[in-house]
Every structure is written in C-alpha cells, then in structure tokens.
Structure 1
Amino acid sequence: MKPKRPALPSPAASLTASATVAALLLSLTGCGGDASADGDGSTVTVTVGYQSRTINTVTAGTLLRSLGYFEKQLNALGDGVTYKVDWQDFATGAPITAQMTAGKIDIGSMGDFPLLINAARGKQLGKPTRMVSVTGYNLRGGLNTIITAPGSSLTSLKDLKGRKVSTSVGSAADGTLVRALQRAGLDPYEDVEKLNQQPAVGASALSSGSADALSQFVAWPGLLAQQGKAKALYDGAQLNLATFHGVAAREDFTKKRPAVLQAFLKAQTQATDYLDAHPVAAAESVAKATGLPAETVYLYNGAQGIATFDPAIKPQLVAALKEDVSILKDAKLTGDVDVDAFVDDQYVKKALGTDAYAERLAATPPDPAGEVWPKGAEKTLPFTSPTALLKHVAAHRGSVRAAYVPDTTTGTLWFADRSVWVADGTRLLPFVTPETARAYVAGHGGARVVTYADALERAS
C-alpha cells in the first residue's frame, strides 16, 4: 500500500437546501433496491449511487465502475447467487440520501457534510445508515476553495463584506466559507449575501457578475481556474481542518448482505491501488467518462494531487466530521448527529485485514514538490522544487500539457500558470492566493510578488 499525496462540473458533495432535501425524501417511498432477490431468488441486484463528476469519489464510483472490480469481487463470492450491479449516477448527494432512506440505494458516496445529513435523515426516518469507508481526503481542507472572477478587485476575505457569495448550503464548501469568514472577523450570515446555488449555477453567476465570489468544492475551483474563468481568493487548506468524501451504506443492507459490502470495499481498495499505481491513466479514464479536462482531474487525483485516496477511516477525519456538525446545526439542516454511532469501520477493516488497515491509518501523505505533464506522455515528471520545475517548463514551453506546484504555506497543489509567484532571493515560491503570497512577502525582507512570465525567465 502506497499512501498518496496530501487533496467538475457537478461535484456532488453539495446539498442545496434543507427544503429541497426534505421534499426529495418525502417524495420517495420505500420499495426497492435493498440488494434484493429478483424473480426466483437466484439473482441479487445491488444498487450503487454515485456522482460521476465528484472526482474525489471515483474509487467508489466512476473509476470503480469502469474497472469492473466490484462485479469481479461479487462473482468470486461463490455463493451460488448471480449478482447484478445497478449503477445510478446523480448530480448531488441529496438524491442519493433520499433514495437510500427510501430503500432504493444500498451503497452511496458523497462528501463529508452530505454524509452528516445522510446520517441525520436516516435516523430521523428510522432508516439508519452507516459510513463504512473513505474515498479521497485532504487533511488540511484543500479540497474547497473560494474563487473570484479573473478581473476582480477582491484580494482578501475581508473584501467580501457586503458582497454576494455563491455556495451550496449544506456542502463542505459552505462550511469552508462560514469558517473562513468567521476567522476573518466577518459574520457569515450578516456581512455577506449568501446565494444558495448548485455549483454550475454559481459558476454562471460568477461569470455574469451576479455573484462576486464562489465557494465550492472539488473540482469546480480548479476547473474554472484552468479555464481562465476564475482566480483563487481563499485556499481551504488555510483552515487546517480535514475534509473528505466517503461511502455510506444502509444499516439493514450491511446486516443482510455483509459479504456483498465486503466485496464492494475490497473492490474500492483495488480501485484505490490502481489510481495510485496509474494516476495518469486513471485521470484520463475519469475525464473520458465525465467530459471533464484530464488536467483538472489530475490536479486533484494525480500522483501529488490535492486528494489522498485511502478507504481507511482515519481518526483525523472522524474528528473533523464532529466539528462539522455545528455548521449544519447553525444552518438548520440537522440537529445533533451521533458521529461515533454513524461511523462504522468494522467492514473496511475486515476487507483490508487488521494489519493492513493499521498500516493505512498510520500512513501520512508525502509533501508535494511539483509535477509536469508533458504532452503525449503517459507519465508525469516529478521535481524536487518549484524552481526546478519552472526551469524545465521554461526550456520546454511548447511541450508541456500541464504543470502543478504546491502552495508554499499550505501544500495545496495548483496550476503553475495560475499560481501567485514570489521571488525570494534565488528561490521562486508559488502560492494559491494573493493573500497568502502577501503574507509571506510581509514576513521576508526582499521578497516580492512577480508575474508567472517573470518567474519563468528568472528560472531559466
């Protein structure tokens, strides 16, 4: 097991509004999925809800489906049952939660805040669910970013006072916005006008000028930055609080079909290992399935990507989940959530084996140093420093597909040509946002912000 590094259109970790969620839940009746037998009882259908464009869930969704590992694990059970997998793709986590509590989906993947709503709704409706594994995570919170339009004059969070900010209420991105504004001394409910919008709607609002900023989760910020439609205002990793995506299963399903859940978690682990061993191929596969740019997928899911993929449920993630409850309570989306009762690692621990599970829990993502993806290449080139990477890019300007560098203070990977660069003597240092770059300059005499073009020239 090789631990991965510390982190599109339509990432589905967001839940738009409590009213919408409630309406979805009330509109569904409990008949269905439940890994139930069809016809003569010799065929069992397992229904998996996933979000193809929420690319930090691909090891339990898009990539897993394309690799066929779950079906192979089910066929290997040898219990005389014929299994069918019904993969259902959704735009957000809300309908997955609704279908799970209606008994129509057995296993579903979503972000950390939607997982809490999943737990709350399941308990509320007497259809409890359990979080059984993790897909992708970032221990500092780098999966969420607040962005502005390319020509915006906003340069810090304090500049958002009195402004319109689009986000998806109930999502981790909204949690980042709330916490970030509070740390900046602003009231997230009084000092800004929050627009509760789906990511795609928020992106359009930012482009049209009807929103001054957009707080969203993977992979909208990276996508819009790559397309030149946005620039970063706040790096979620500045909060230094873990954020992640995970897998939930209905409690009655886990008890009735434990072998099926074991097969799913073993398959998820295989998909995780495949992504770690073949990050470029995995990014290309996800890009083909979703229509997203492979370069953006790789920013989050690559060898040094913002997300680390590991099915083990780390204590840091559980601790962050507990801290998230207060944000949802303040937004009146949930009451108290018993996180300890919701999180159940017995199945993934059994799937991995006790020793392997302990090893994964202890593993820490290595610090990224930067990568270049050459055009036409099946592998990326790693570098020991951003300066070394810039020197390579300067010497191969026409043959670079994408270049990625880590923020000097948070470690969040970002596109080299979209980063804010600082020259400090002979060192060239990248930052995701102007604010963190200015903070570094203020504390280092002689350091100054330079353009990307200037940084390339200095490196060469």
Structure 2
Amino acid sequence: MTAVPRAHERPPARGRFVARALPLTLLLPLATACGGAAGAEDSKTVTVTVGYQSKTINTVTAGTLLRSLGYFEKELAARGRKDGRTYKVKWQDYATGAPITAQMTAGKIDIGSMGDFPLLINAARGKQLRQPTRLVSVTGYNLRGGLNTVVTEPASELRSLTDLRGKKVSTSIGSAADGTLIRALEQAGIDPEKDIRKLNQQPSVGASALAGGSVDALSQFVAWPGQLAYEGKAKALYDGADLNLPTFHGVTVREKFADERTGVVDDFLRAQRRATDHLRARPVAAAETVAAETGLPAEVVYLYNGAHGIATFDPALRPELIAALKKDVPILKDAELIGDVDVDAFVDPEPLRRAVPAPPYGKATAARPELWLRGRSDTRAFDSPKALLKAARGADVRAAYVPDALTGTLWFADRSVWVADGPELRAFITPDHARTYVERHAGARVVSYADALRRAS
C-alpha cells in the first residue's frame, strides 16, 4: 500500500522540505475527524491494530515475519483463555512510517514500527495532538548506519558525493535515508539546501525516477538500495556506514493504549522476541518467508536480515541507539519537521523489561563473506573474500555476499568494486571506498569481478 503525501507534505521546488508542522489548532480537528480508538471492542472482543511496513525488512520481527508466524495471535489467544475475551489483530501495511504516525495520532493504530527519524516525528506529532506515544523496543539496527545508501543508475559517471553538486536527488523527506543524505552532504562540504535539488518521493517513485533518468541519485533505506543493486538497476555511490552513527527501526505504541492494555503490549513484545529468536536461528528460512510475503527477492532480504546481514536484530533499547536518536533531533528541527522532542520521556524501557526479562543478545559480530548456492537451504561462511570467490567460481551461485573492507557493510559480491592488493582481494561497496584503499596501498589496483574470480582460483 503506497501512502499519498498530504497536501502540506508535498515538496517545494528546491531545498529542504520546511513548514510541515501545522499549528495545533489546525491539527486537532483533523485528528478528531479521523475517528475513534484503534482498539475497538465490546465487552468480549478486543481488536488490536498494528501498523507495519512489509518492505522495510528490518522491521520484520514486528511486522511481516511476526504476522506470518502468528506469534502475536498465539499470545493473545492464551490471554483470552484466561480472561474470557476474544482478541483480534488487524494488520495494516504502509510504505513508510509517516502514515502510521498519522493513523496513530488519529487513534486508529495502536502499535507501529518505523525508522529512527520517523520515530521522532511520531513522538512530536503524538505530543502535539495529545495522543502521546512511547518507544518500547527495537527491531533491527546497524551501529555504523549501513542501513541507508545513496545509489545511482549503473552507467552513471558519478563517483562520489561531491559529484552531486547541481544534481537531482530523490529521497523521502523525514526518513532516516534523508537524514543520512543531509549528514553525508554536509560532511562533504555540500549544502543540502543550495547545492543539490532534492525531490521528496516515496521509495518506489524514486526508484522509478532513477530508472527513468529524471533524477541523478536516490537516497533510501533498507531494502531499496540492495534491491535495485541486485536487479542491476543501480550501483552504490555512498555507504551510510561512512557516518559511523547508529541507525535503527523500532516499535512505538499509543500511550493511552499501553496504559489501558498493558498485558497486550507485553504480549506483542514477547511475540516480537520469539520472532527475533526464529530469525536468528533460521535466517535463510526467515528470508524465504519474508520474500514470499512481500515479493522481494529472498537474496535481497538475506543481504540485510541474514546471519551476517547489514541489520542486527535485537529488541533491546541499547544506550548507543538512544544516544543516536538524540543526535537526530537537530536534523529534523532544522528541516522544521519537529520542535523539541524529549527523547528520554519518549523511550520507555519498562514494558520490555517486564515482558522479556531475558538479557539482550549481545552486540553484532563482524560480517563474514557468505555463499548461498542454488538448491540449498543453508549458506556457507568464509574467512576471507578470496576464499569466497574460490568457492563461487564455477558453482551454481544464488547469491554471494562480501563485507566492505572499510566499513564492514555486507554487499553483493558481483555488485562490489574489487581491488587486488598483491595476492589478496578486497571488496568495496563504492568506487570512493576502493579509491581510498588504492591511494593508501602502493601496488593495489581496481579489478573487475571476473578478474577477481580468476585471481582467486
């Protein structure tokens, strides 16, 4: 389901998007007109409405995968056997977090999942409309920011962010991908307001615009960059992990619903933990399930959600993630998307402590090269890119993944930029990364993927 931006959310001709926060006196009538509470019920029936993003695949433990496994419904059925009520779950699928927030502040969605920037907008809008929300868990995260990527079309001559001066760039304003774009441009000495032309587009629209040549680059969140690269429709220009700033997605609940249905929130978090356990124990099966539910290639899902994928799944509200969320506030304030947000008041760790007392999984380990052969229900990990390539040569490869030698972000081996450094082979997501490595290592040079395969053997 593709959400249509409201009139006050349409982009200006140039520059950052501004003036999206309507006065409270105008927003309140809109919320009132939208209807009553999501948790519709009579004396014996309780309906819980969950907003999720099926194709934002590092939210799957609170959305697509969770829905497919039925764990939340099972938790609620157990509750119903104890209290004599019938619990129903209504799942609502959206392309981005913005419409989930709109429905939550209208009282029509009880629980939602979205990225870190939309979560802050969720907190701000909830407070403004007197429908406060709480952040109660995390779904997937990357401690360096590798979930967001800037891509160009395959034949583009753009080689680094500095080449974007005067170019058209598509992104979704208010998303984590937009935040990555703003930060990256500023670090490169480019003014996001004056030096590029930014278009505010839904991810699917931006992907079509890139393919049609109406934009020069696309900055988007998981799984769009990986999908476009896998399909041969894009190549990476900038790896969000270069920012070395965590990015994540999480679960937000309406405060009123959480207070009235504390046990239901606990049930959701227990179900989310079960879905996370399933994904971590059976990553290939989980990828296949998400692919079947969303239409995304399983190979793309696994790039992000696999055993060594770009996203790490853990519901814990880690301090480093909350610290990163606080650093996101000024970006959204500068774009006039929010005012002040009290992040500490928005984050509520108590439900997770109460529902899932088990300790967190621990931090993500370094990614390893990984090979997925056709006809296999498992993958094989390797200690080096060269070993991966040696095993892939002549094999019936479904997908081969390799971490970037500078940032550790996993990428498709045949879409990576390869460098030969003596007998060693190293892979990079972007030409800029490869160039940086070559400049620092005498004798190193860029080689084609075919040449890298030959050298590995």
TM-score range for the pair, normalised by the shorter chain length:
over 0.9
Residue 53 (structure 1) aligns with: 55
- Describe the superposition over 1:55-101 as per-residue Cα deviations: whole angstroms up to 9, x where unpaired: 11110011000100001111122222211111111122111111111
Residue 312 (structure 1) aligns with: 316
Residue 4 (structure 1) aligns with: none
Residue 381 (structure 1) aligns with: 380
Match of 1:233 among 226, 232, 237: 237
Rounded to whole Å, the distance in 1 between the matches of 2:313 and 2:338 is 28
Where do 1:438-453 residues align within 5 Å?
Answer: 438-453=435-450
- Describe the superposition over 1:233-270 as per-residue Cα deviations: whole angstroms up to 9, x where unpaired: 00000000000100000001111111000000000000
Residue 127 (structure 1) aligns with: 131
Is this contact kept in 2: 1:242–1:320, CA < 8 A? yes
Match of 1:150 among 142, 151, 154: 154
The residue type paired with residue 393 of structure 1 is A
The residue type paired with residue 311 of structure 1 is P
Residue 279 (structure 2) aligns with: 275
Aligned-pair CA distance for 1:27? 4.3
Match of 1:91 among 82, 90, 95: 95
1:206 aligns with 2:210: yes
Rounded to whole Å, the distance in 1 between the matches of 2:160 and 2:423 is 27
Is this contact kept in 2: 1:168–1:199, CA < 8 A? yes
Aligned-pair CA distance for 1:19? 7.3
1:437 aligns with 2:434: yes
Residue 72 (structure 1) aligns with: 74
- Describe the superposition over 1:361-391 as per-residue Cα deviations: whole angstroms up to 9, x where unpaired: xx11010111111101111111111110000
Residue 364 (structure 2) aligns with: 365
1:138 aligns with 2:137: no
Residue 112 (structure 2) aligns with: 108
Rounded to whole Å, the distance in 2 between the matches of 1:241 and 1:421 is 25
Match of 1:218 among 218, 222, 242: 222
Residue 15 (structure 2) aligns with: none
SS at structure 1 position matched to 2:393: helix
Rounded to whole Å, the distance in 2 between the matches of 1:365 and 1:287 is 24
The residue type paired with residue 268 of structure 1 is Q
Where do 1:336-351 residues align within 5 Å?
Answer: 336-351=340-355
Identify if the C-alpha distance between structure 1 residues 370 and 11 changes in structure 2 by more than 3 Å, giving closer, same or farther.
Answer: farther
1:193 aligns with 2:197: yes
Is this contact kept in 1: 2:19–2:336, CA < 8 A? no
Residue 421 (structure 1) aligns with: 418
Aligned-pair CA distance for 1:37? 2.0
Residue 302 (structure 1) aligns with: 306
Rounded to whole Å, the distance in 1 between the matches of 2:40 and 2:2 is 30
Aligned-pair CA distance for 1:24? 9.2
How many residues end up aligned between the 2 structures?
Answer: 441
Identify if the C-alpha distance between structure 1 residues 35 and 111 changes in structure 2 by more than 3 Å, giving closer, same or farther.
Answer: same
Rounded to whole Å, the distance in 1 between the matches of 2:235 and 2:95 is 24
Identify if the C-alpha distance between structure 1 residues 347 and 393 changes in structure 2 by more than 3 Å, giving closer, same or farther.
Answer: same
Rounded to whole Å, the distance in 1 between the matches of 2:225 and 2:378 is 24
Residue 3 (structure 1) aligns with: none
- What is the alpha-carbon root mean square deviation over aligned residues? 1.9
Identify if the C-alpha distance between structure 1 residues 302 and 277 changes in structure 2 by more than 3 Å, giving closer, same or farther.
Answer: same
1:250 aligns with 2:254: yes
Unaligned runs of 5+ in 1: 1-8
- Describe the superposition over 1:428-457 as per-residue Cα deviations: whole angstroms up to 9, x where unpaired: 000000001100110111111110000000
Is this contact kept in 2: 1:424–1:446, CA < 8 A? yes
The residue type paired with residue 244 of structure 1 is F
Identify if the C-alpha distance between structure 1 residues 125 and 11 changes in structure 2 by more than 3 Å, giving closer, same or farther.
Answer: closer
Residue 394 (structure 1) aligns with: 393
SS at structure 2 position matched to 1:37: coil
The residue type paired with residue 344 of structure 1 is D
Aligned-pair CA distance for 1:32? 3.3
Is this contact kept in 2: 1:11–1:51, CA < 8 A? no
Is this contact kept in 2: 1:372–1:403, CA < 8 A? yes
Is this contact kept in 2: 1:11–1:55, CA < 8 A? no
Is this contact kept in 1: 2:184–2:243, CA < 8 A? yes
1:32 aligns with 2:36: yes
Aligned-pair CA distance for 1:345? 0.9
Is this contact kept in 1: 2:147–2:240, CA < 8 A? yes
Rounded to whole Å, the distance in 2 between the matches of 1:263 and 1:87 is 16
Rounded to whole Å, the distance in 1 between the matches of 2:413 and 2:146 is 16
Please report the TM-score for the alignment, with normalisation by the length of structure 1: 0.93
SS at structure 1 position matched to 2:83: coil
- Describe the superposition over 1:199-256 as per-residue Cα deviations: whole angstroms up to 9, x where unpaired: 1111111111111111111011000000111000000000000001000000011111
Rounded to whole Å, the distance in 2 between the matches of 1:26 and 1:386 is 58
SS at structure 2 position matched to 1:76: helix
Aligned-pair CA distance for 1:33? 3.9
The residue type paired with residue 48 of structure 1 is V
Rounded to whole Å, the distance in 2 between the matches of 1:67 and 1:198 is 28
- Describe the superposition over 1:81-124 as per-residue Cα deviations: whole angstroms up to 9, x where unpaired: 21111111112211111111111111000111000000000000
Is this contact kept in 2: 1:133–1:248, CA < 8 A? yes
Rounded to whole Å, the distance in 1 between the matches of 2:37 and 2:317 is 26
Aligned-pair CA distance for 1:16? 7.0
The residue type paired with residue 297 of structure 2 is P
Rounded to whole Å, the distance in 2 between the matches of 1:19 and 1:270 is 41
Is this contact kept in 1: 2:21–2:336, CA < 8 A? no
Rounded to whole Å, the distance in 2 between the matches of 1:394 and 1:188 is 43
Residue 14 (structure 2) aligns with: none
Is this contact kept in 2: 1:49–1:105, CA < 8 A? yes
- Describe the superposition over 1:123-151 as per-residue Cα deviations: whole angstroms up to 9, x where unpaired: 00111000010001000000000001100
Is this contact kept in 2: 1:16–1:198, CA < 8 A? no
Aligned-pair CA distance for 1:340? 0.6
Please report the TM-score for the alignment, with normalisation by the length of structure 2: 0.93
SS at structure 1 position matched to 2:138: strand
Residue 6 (structure 1) aligns with: none
Rounded to whole Å, the distance in 2 between the matches of 1:311 and 1:232 is 29
Aligned-pair CA distance for 1:42? 1.0
